[in-house]
A and B are shown apart, each in its own frame.
Chain A
Amino acid sequence: MKVMKLLEQFLEKSTLVGNENRLVTTVDFQNDFKREDYEYIHLPGLNIFLDKQAGEAGIRRALIEADYAIAETGSVVIDSCNENLRLASCLAEKLDVVFPLSKLVDNMHDVADFLEERTSESGGYVAFITGASRTADIERVLTVGVHGPKEMTVIILNDL
């Protein structure tokens, strides 16, 4: 039951920042997702990959698996040390992130050990991502897509 409460909290916060959120089974996800929609895919959990180095022109859409998600803030946590993954997540017009429900944690401190582990050795880059790239620097008007993704979709695999 606790996980449903966390999910509710996650969805509330994730919706608040303008994300589209989808809850699906793994089978449905695998059947429905169209590989050709993406220019970059990194889903180690499902063993689906499509590699590309995003350049100045950016890429249309990327699909990335998160290591964790945080209910407290509605964030996904992605180890982005892999340079192409990092470029894709920074430069995609649309960013889709997938995570299994079992990776949803209560709060930021629950990933402290993960951060410690992933940045202990040479080179480490872990991102909490909570919505599209945004700014309010002109007259405090919220505008998305200033440097990075203009849209974000979160796909939660509710059977994993």
Chain B
Amino acid sequence: MTIHTKIDEKLNDKVLYQNLKGFATAYKASKENAYKGLDFEALRTKVHDLKDRDLNKVMQQFNQFKENVEKHGCKVFQAKTGDDACRYIADVMKSHGAKYMVKSKSMTSEEIQLNQYLEKEGLSPIETDLGEWILQIANEHPSHMVMPAIHKTRQQVAKIFSDYTGEKVDPDDIKAMVEIARRFLREYYFKAGVGMTGANVAVASTGTIGLVTNEGNARLSSTVPPVHIVLVGYEKLCDDFGQALDIVRVLPKSATGQIITSYTTWIKGRTPSHKNADGIKETHYVFLDNGRLAFLEHPKFKEALKCIRCGSCANICPAYEMVGGHVYGDRYIGSIGLILTALYQGDAAAKDILKMCIGCRACSFNCPSGIDLQTLISDLKLVVGKKYGINPVKKKVFKSVVAKPKRMKSLLSVGANFQFPLTTTNKLNQEKIIKTVPMLPKEMDFRKFPALASKTFSKRFFKDGYDQFSSQRKVFFYPGCAIEYFYPEMGLAMVKLLQKSGIQVDIPKVAACCGIPAIASGDPDNARTMIFNTLDKLNDAKDYEALLVLCPTCGGAIKHEFLDFTKADPDRYKKASQLGQMVTPVGQFLEDQGIQFKVIGNKTVTYHTPCHDSRSLSYSAEAFLSSVLGEQFIPLTDSNVCCGFGGTYSLDFSSISNGILNKKIENIEATKAEILVTDCPGCVMQINGGLMHQKKAVKVMHLTEFIENHLVVVE
């Protein structure tokens, strides 16, 4: 099945849609509550730093752990591969003549596909976590790391239970279903010869594991059977209880929005166990490598080994929310799932799913271990793009058009001159749009496309004499492709406003692309060409107060990606670094100038925060608009959640893009505002296109146009 077939199947699953949408909303509220009064940034920095270590350090922790448990007669096995781990566990079961093994939830066992292995050997692992048990008897795998059966309804579970037990199950009575699980699984705890758990932390100073659960199944699995096997990845090691508790403090809050789970259990091997002749439990620790140890030495990917498996990168991912974990991930799920699939299973297994990341960066800002997940995904996209190739049409467009600024200019100018038979005026807002795009596949037809501007921004800037204004105070403005070719009026509105305030605006002589479309598509070579083109055409930083952008994605690229791509070229790197520090979104610049505005008219306004405004440039115009507009400003629910654009993503994964956009439009409609302001031309293209397609009368404006038309400067 191709990735697109899988996506379509999930997008048509109404149950999945409702479950994930409901969860996303509820999760955000409970997480915020759970962290109330705490400094999330400080907590996650702590976890990030305690997990920041090299192979040598981890092996020191391992040796200390091993010594601490072996001296009391526990067994420690170092599994190089998943199969090594599976074989060891099967051997322990066989040596005890144990047919059944009760196990609590362990993503590591999903990683090594332990159940499949044991079943082939004629052994019976029994999942005791309710969600995992449902899936085990339904012969499925988890779609979320913490809520494995989130894709199921109560009716579906009732059917699974009634098929399995042969009993009649009330399809609406969840409590009764939980009772069934209690009854059936209770029997297995006492039948099983072996119990297996994972470990959320492994404390080196004593050789103690920590387990975080709600159901109490890990306590029973580690208590009732005479043998306990712990399956754990090396990355779960930490020095002492101080560190372990730092992790436990964030894990449940980020995972389910709980302050703490019902049970946090600290176990040191060889506890009393009456089922053994010597009255003491037999304890085995299986430490899994499966690629971990190699990546601890990798300059970038070692970050992925800081994951504490809370699953929150899925909880806040707009693309995950559309398709769920059976598509957005593999054995591991969410952003970290895309990454770990590449690291543990190989890039061939990850090459398609990596593309599903829209690049909104929400996960990077939400990770309680401070992993910059989106950057790792972006890096991996470049690796697999180069190795397996990208969409050939895109590659050709990048190479022969976008990476060649002059050719792009002349091609688009031809387009602008000859598009008129295709264009029309959208009646509701009088904007020029493309009437119908020839041969556009149906799934891509979810928004109207803006017409190309008849004259580019640069052309109007020079032709209309905006370059003639001179002043001691100067800023440099990088327009980016969207302003240059589609929305010159957004740029001109800003230029006029700044010149009125006595500030000279300079722009590049030739417009070039910032490279983000190529980076997001996994095309490093063309991205490099585009970045060098742009960088070489930007003026030096020293003459200017700021480098202004109206597109925060371009701004973020100059600030972050330009550094990555110029590392081997000191001159360019220095220039990129100096310019990067000066990148300022226009709203921020205006606020910094202390210019006072007041509103004219009484239109109601709401605001969408562009992903790269808040998460690449640390800015949102919400506070500014709210203070200028007072009661005319209506806050937008999920204002900083992605609009679904993502550049060419909205064409590659149009159905996901459309789904995300629809949620944005629902929220916009709920505000009943007449105007939606945002400060990214990409978001304008997406949201305005969607609203026009759905014939909704909300006016969409870039911040600069809104200021020009609806605010006046208070002298």
Instruction: Decide if B178 is an interface residue (CB 8 Å cutoff).
Output: yes
Stretch binding the partner chain, chosen from A27-35, A40-48, A120-128 = A120-128
Shortest distance in angstroms between A64's beta carbon and chain B's nearest beta carbon? 14
Residues 74-98 of A, flagged 1 when their CB comes within 8 A of B and 0 if not, give 1100000111001101110000000
Residues 109-140 of A, flagged 1 when their CB comes within 8 A of B and 0 if not, give 10011011011111111111111111111111
Q: B208, A119: Cβ atoms under 8 Å?
A: yes
- Taken together as a complex, chains A and B put the C-alpha atoms of A89 and B222 apart, in Å, by 13
- A125 and B153 contact, Cβ closer than 8 Å, known pairs A138-B174, A138-B178, A147-B185: no
Shortest distance in angstroms between A123's beta carbon and chain B's nearest beta carbon? 4
Q: A137, B219: Cβ atoms under 8 Å?
A: no
A73 / chain B contacts, CB cutoff of 8 Å: 259-260
- Taken together as a complex, chains A and B put the C-alpha atoms of A126 and B147 apart, in Å, by 26
Q: B263, A127: Cβ atoms under 8 Å?
A: yes
- Taken together as a complex, chains A and B put the C-alpha atoms of A82 and B175 apart, in Å, by 32
Shortest distance in angstroms between B632's beta carbon and chain A's nearest beta carbon? 37
B181 / chain A contacts, CB cutoff of 8 Å: 146
- Taken together as a complex, chains A and B put the C-alpha atoms of A120 and B220 apart, in Å, by 22
Residue in contact with A147 in the complex, picked from B186, B205, B260, CB distance below 8 Å: B186
Shortest distance in angstroms between A68's beta carbon and chain B's nearest beta carbon? 13
Q: B186, A148: Cβ atoms under 8 Å?
A: no
Shortest distance in angstroms between A145's beta carbon and chain B's nearest beta carbon? 7
Q: A123, B268: Cβ atoms under 8 Å?
A: yes
B23 / chain A contacts, CB cutoff of 8 Å: 140
Instruction: Decide if B48 is an interface residue (CB 8 Å cutoff).
Output: no
Q: A137, B148: Cβ atoms under 8 Å?
A: yes
- A108 and B248 contact, Cβ closer than 8 Å, known pairs A135-B215, A141-B174: yes
Instruction: Decide if A158 is an interface residue (CB 8 Å cutoff).
Output: no
- A81 and B271 contact, Cβ closer than 8 Å, known pairs A129-B262, A137-B147, A147-B215: yes
B185 / chain A contacts, CB cutoff of 8 Å: 147
- Taken together as a complex, chains A and B put the C-alpha atoms of A114 and B326 apart, in Å, by 42
Residues 242-286 of B, flagged 1 when their CB comes within 8 A of A and 0 if not, give 100100110000001001111111111111111000001100000
Instruction: Decide if B241 is an interface residue (CB 8 Å cutoff).
Output: yes
- A122 and B26 contact, Cβ closer than 8 Å, known pairs A133-B215, A136-B256, A143-B174: no
Residues 150-179 of B, flagged 1 when their CB comes within 8 A of A and 0 if not, give 101110010000000000000000110110
A147 / chain B contacts, CB cutoff of 8 Å: 128, 182, 185-186, 215-217, 220
Interface of A is mostly: loop
Instruction: Decide if B190 is an interface residue (CB 8 Å cutoff).
Output: yes
- Taken together as a complex, chains A and B put the C-alpha atoms of A115 and B250 apart, in Å, by 19
Q: Which residue of B lies closest to A117 (CB)?
A: B206
Instruction: Decide if B555 is an interface residue (CB 8 Å cutoff).
Output: no
Instruction: Decide if B57 is an interface residue (CB 8 Å cutoff).
Output: no
Residues 46-66 of A, flagged 1 when their CB comes within 8 A of B and 0 if not, give 000000010110100000000
Residue in contact with A127 in the complex, picked from B187, B249, B266, CB distance below 8 Å: B266
- Taken together as a complex, chains A and B put the C-alpha atoms of A158 and B190 apart, in Å, by 39
Shortest distance in angstroms between B107's beta carbon and chain A's nearest beta carbon? 15
Instruction: Decide if B640 is an interface residue (CB 8 Å cutoff).
Output: no
Q: Which residue of B lies closest to A122 (CB)?
A: B72
Shortest distance in angstroms between B7's beta carbon and chain A's nearest beta carbon? 24
Shortest distance in angstroms between B68's beta carbon and chain A's nearest beta carbon? 8
Q: Which residue of B lies closest to A150 (CB)?
A: B182
- A137 and B149 contact, Cβ closer than 8 Å, known pairs A129-B262, A143-B175, A146-B215: yes
Q: A127, B178: Cβ atoms under 8 Å?
A: no
Q: Which of B178, B223, B266, B274 has the most CB of A within 10 A?
A: B266
Q: B174, A133: Cβ atoms under 8 Å?
A: no
- A120 and B182 contact, Cβ closer than 8 Å, known pairs A108-B249, A112-B240, A147-B220: no
Shortest distance in angstroms between B465's beta carbon and chain A's nearest beta carbon? 61
- Number of residues from A at the complex interface, CB < 8 A: 55
Residue in contact with B187 in the complex, picked from A17, A56, A91, A138, CB distance below 8 Å: A56
Shortest distance in angstroms between A90's beta carbon and chain B's nearest beta carbon? 5
Shortest distance in angstroms between A11's beta carbon and chain B's nearest beta carbon? 14
Instruction: Decide if B73 is an interface residue (CB 8 Å cutoff).
Output: yes
Q: Which residue of A lies closest to B179 (CB)?
A: A145
B368 / chain A contacts, CB cutoff of 8 Å: none
Q: Which residue of A lies closest to B267 (CB)?
A: A125
A128 / chain B contacts, CB cutoff of 8 Å: 260, 263-265
Shortest distance in angstroms between B545's beta carbon and chain A's nearest beta carbon? 47
Residue in contact with A116 in the complex, picked from B26, B150, B206, B273, CB distance below 8 Å: B206
Instruction: Decide if B22 is an interface residue (CB 8 Å cutoff).
Output: yes
- Taken together as a complex, chains A and B put the C-alpha atoms of A124 and B129 apart, in Å, by 23
Q: B266, A123: Cβ atoms under 8 Å?
A: no
- Taken together as a complex, chains A and B put the C-alpha atoms of A151 and B265 apart, in Å, by 19
- Taken together as a complex, chains A and B put the C-alpha atoms of A123 and B22 apart, in Å, by 43
- Taken together as a complex, chains A and B put the C-alpha atoms of A32 and B205 apart, in Å, by 44
Residue in contact with B272 in the complex, picked from A55, A75, A82, CB distance below 8 Å: A82
Instruction: Decide if B130 is an interface residue (CB 8 Å cutoff).
Output: yes
Q: B216, A125: Cβ atoms under 8 Å?
A: no
Q: A138, B157: Cβ atoms under 8 Å?
A: yes
Q: B272, A138: Cβ atoms under 8 Å?
A: no
Instruction: Decide if B538 is an interface residue (CB 8 Å cutoff).
Output: no
- Taken together as a complex, chains A and B put the C-alpha atoms of A72 and B260 apart, in Å, by 9
Q: A145, B208: Cβ atoms under 8 Å?
A: no
Instruction: Decide if B214 is an interface residue (CB 8 Å cutoff).
Output: yes
- Taken together as a complex, chains A and B put the C-alpha atoms of A7 and B646 apart, in Å, by 50
- Taken together as a complex, chains A and B put the C-alpha atoms of A129 and B215 apart, in Å, by 11
Q: B174, A139: Cβ atoms under 8 Å?
A: yes
Q: B270, A123: Cβ atoms under 8 Å?
A: yes
Instruction: Decide if B588 is an interface residue (CB 8 Å cutoff).
Output: no
B182 / chain A contacts, CB cutoff of 8 Å: 145-147
B22 / chain A contacts, CB cutoff of 8 Å: 140
Q: B149, A138: Cβ atoms under 8 Å?
A: yes
Residues 459-470 of B, flagged 1 when their CB comes within 8 A of A and 0 if not, give 000000000000
A83 / chain B contacts, CB cutoff of 8 Å: 223, 271-274
- A124 and B177 contact, Cβ closer than 8 Å, known pairs A116-B206, A119-B208, A140-B147: no
A127 / chain B contacts, CB cutoff of 8 Å: 219, 263-266
Q: A75, B186: Cβ atoms under 8 Å?
A: no
Shortest distance in angstroms between A6's beta carbon and chain B's nearest beta carbon? 15
A-B contact pairs, 21 of them (CB 8 A): A73-B259, A83-B271, A86-B219, A86-B271, A90-B223, A119-B208, A120-B268, A122-B268, A123-B72, A123-B270, A123-B280, A125-B223, A125-B265, A127-B264, A130-B263, A131-B262, A137-B130, A137-B134, A140-B150, A143-B174, A147-B217
Interface set of B (CB-CB < 8 Å, partner A): 19, 22-23, 26, 72-73, 128-131, 134, 147-150, 152-154, 157, 174-175, 177-178, 181-182, 185-187, 189-190, 203, 205-208, 214-217, 219-220, 223-224, 240-242, 245, 248-249, 256, 259-274, 280-281
Known contacts A118-B266, A122-B72, A138-B178; 14 additional CB pairs below 8 A are: A75-B264, A83-B223, A83-B274, A109-B245, A112-B242, A119-B268, A122-B268, A123-B269, A130-B259, A138-B152, A138-B174, A139-B19, A143-B174, A147-B220
Interface set of A (CB-CB < 8 Å, partner B): 13, 16-17, 53, 55-56, 58, 72-75, 81-83, 86-87, 89-91, 108-109, 112-113, 115-116, 118-141, 143, 145-149
Counting from the closest, the 9 A-B pairs by CB-CB distance are A124-B268, A148-B216, A137-B131, A122-B72, A119-B268, A133-B216, A112-B241, A128-B264, A73-B260
